[in-house]
Amino acid sequence: MSVWRNLPLKAKIGAVVFGVFLLIAIFGPIFQPYDPGFAPPDATLSLNHPSAKHLLGTTQLGQDVLSQLLTGIRLTVILALAVGAIATVLSVLVGVTAAFLGGVWDDVLSLITNVFLVVPALPLLIVLLGYLSTEGQLSTIIVLAGLGWPWGARVIRAQTLTIRNRDFIAASRESGEKTWRIIIFEIIPNEISLIVANFVNTVLYAIGASVALAFVGIANLESFSLGTILYWAQDNNALQGGAWWWWIPPGLAVALIGTALVLLNSGIDEVGNPRLRASRGSAKIAGRRVWTTDPTPVLAQLTASRGRVGAFLHSFSRSSLLDETPAGGELR
Amino acid sequence: MSPILEISDLSVVYRTPGGDVRAVERVNLELNPGEVVGLCGESGSGKSTLAYGATRLLRPPALVTGGSVRYSGRRITSGGAPVDLLTMNHHELRRMRWREIAIVFQSAMNALNPVLRIHAQLLDAVQAHLKLPRAEAHEKVAELLDLVGIPRNRLRSYPHELSGGMRQRVMIAMALATDPEVVIMDEPTTALDVVVQRDILAQIVELKERLGFAIMFITHDLSLLLELADRIAVMYAGRLLETGAAQDLMRDPAHPYTRGLLNSFPSLHGARRELAGIPGSPPDLRDPRPGCPFMPRCGFAVPACSAVDMALEPWNAAQGGTTQLLDSAHLTACPIVTPEVSQEGVLS
**Which residues of A are less than 8 Å from B309 in CB distance?**
331-332
* A317 confidence band (pLDDT: 50, 70, 90): low
Residue B26 with chain A: CB contacts under 8 Å? 327-328
What angle is formed at CA A206 by the lines to CA A203 and CA A211, rounded to 5 degrees? 130
Pairing of strands B231-236, B182-186: unpaired
| Reported confidence tier of residue A301, pLDDT bands at 50, 70, 90 | confident
Q: How many degrees, rounded to 5, is the angle at CA B173 between CA B170 and CA B177?
A: 135
pLDDT tens column, A253-262: 999 999 999 9
Q: Can you say whether the dihedral through the CA atoms of B99, B105, B109, B110 is positive or negative?
A: negative
Predicted complex: ipTM over 0.85: no
Q: Give the closest-approach CA distance of B19 to chain A in angstroms.
A: 7
Confidence of residue A2 (pLDDT cuts 50, 70, 90): low
Residue A75 CB coordination number (10 Å): 24
Question: Residue A332: its chain B contacts at CB < 8 A?
Answer: 309
Residues (pLDDT < 50) of chain B are 77, 319-327, 345-348
Strand order in the sheet with B239-245: B101-104, B182-186, B214-219, B36-40, B231-236, B239-245, B331-332, B313-314
Query: Are B41 and B87 in contact, with CB atoms under 8 Å apart?
Result: no
**Gap from A321 CA to chain B (nearest CA, Å):** 10
The fold adopted by the segment(s) A8-278 is: MetI-like fold (1.10.3720)
CB-based contact B65 A332, cutoff 8 Å: no
Question: A-chain residues within 8 Å CB-CB of B12?
Answer: 296
**H/E stretch holding A84:** helix A65-101
As a three-state string, the secondary structure of B141-175 is: HHHHHHHCCCCHHHHHCCHHHCCHHHHHHHHHHHH
Q: Do A296 and B90 touch (CB under 8 A)?
A: no
Dist CA B60 CA A277 (whole Å): 13
A142 has pLDDT over 60:
yes
Choose among A290, A319, A327: nearest Cβ to B66. A327
B59 touches A: beta carbon within 8 Å:
yes
Interface probe with A: pick from B7, B9, B12, B15, most Cβ of A within 10 Å: B15
Contacts B61 to A, Cβ<8 Å: 283, 285
Q: Which of A44-58, A305-319, B36-50, B61-75 has the lowest mean pLDDT?
A: A305-319
**What are the residue ranges spanned by the domains of chain A?**
8-278, 282-331
Q: pLDDT (tens digit, 9 = 90+) per residue, B63-76? A: 898 889 988 876 65
| CA–CA gap between residue A65 and residue A47 (Å, rounded) | 10
CB B159 within 8 A of CB B114: yes
Residues B301, B307, B310, CA angle at the centre, nearest 5°? 85
Cα–Cα distance between B60 and B65 in angstroms, integer?
13
Q: Which whole number is the average pLDDT over A103-114?
A: 92
All structural domains of chain B with their residue ranges: 236-343
Contact B73, B97 (CB under 8 A): no
In angstroms, the first-to-last Cα distance of chain A is 38
Of residues A8 and A152, the one with the higher pLDDT is: A152
B20 interaction partners in chain A (CB closer than 8 Å): 322, 327
Pairwise CB contact (< 8 Å): B56 & A295: yes
CA B89 to chain A, closest CA, distance in angstroms equals 8
Q: Is the pLDDT of residue A280 over 60?
A: no
| Closest residue of chain B to A293, computed from CA coordinates | B59
Interface of B with A in 229-268 (CB under 8 A): none
How far is A163 from A237, CA to CA, in rounded Å?
A: 55
- Nearest-CB residue to A295 (from B25, B90, B310): B90
Q: Cα–Cα distance between A215 and A231 in angstroms, integer?
A: 4
**Residue B287: its pLDDT value, please?**
79
Question: What integer pLDDT is reported at residue B339 of this predicted model?
Answer: 65
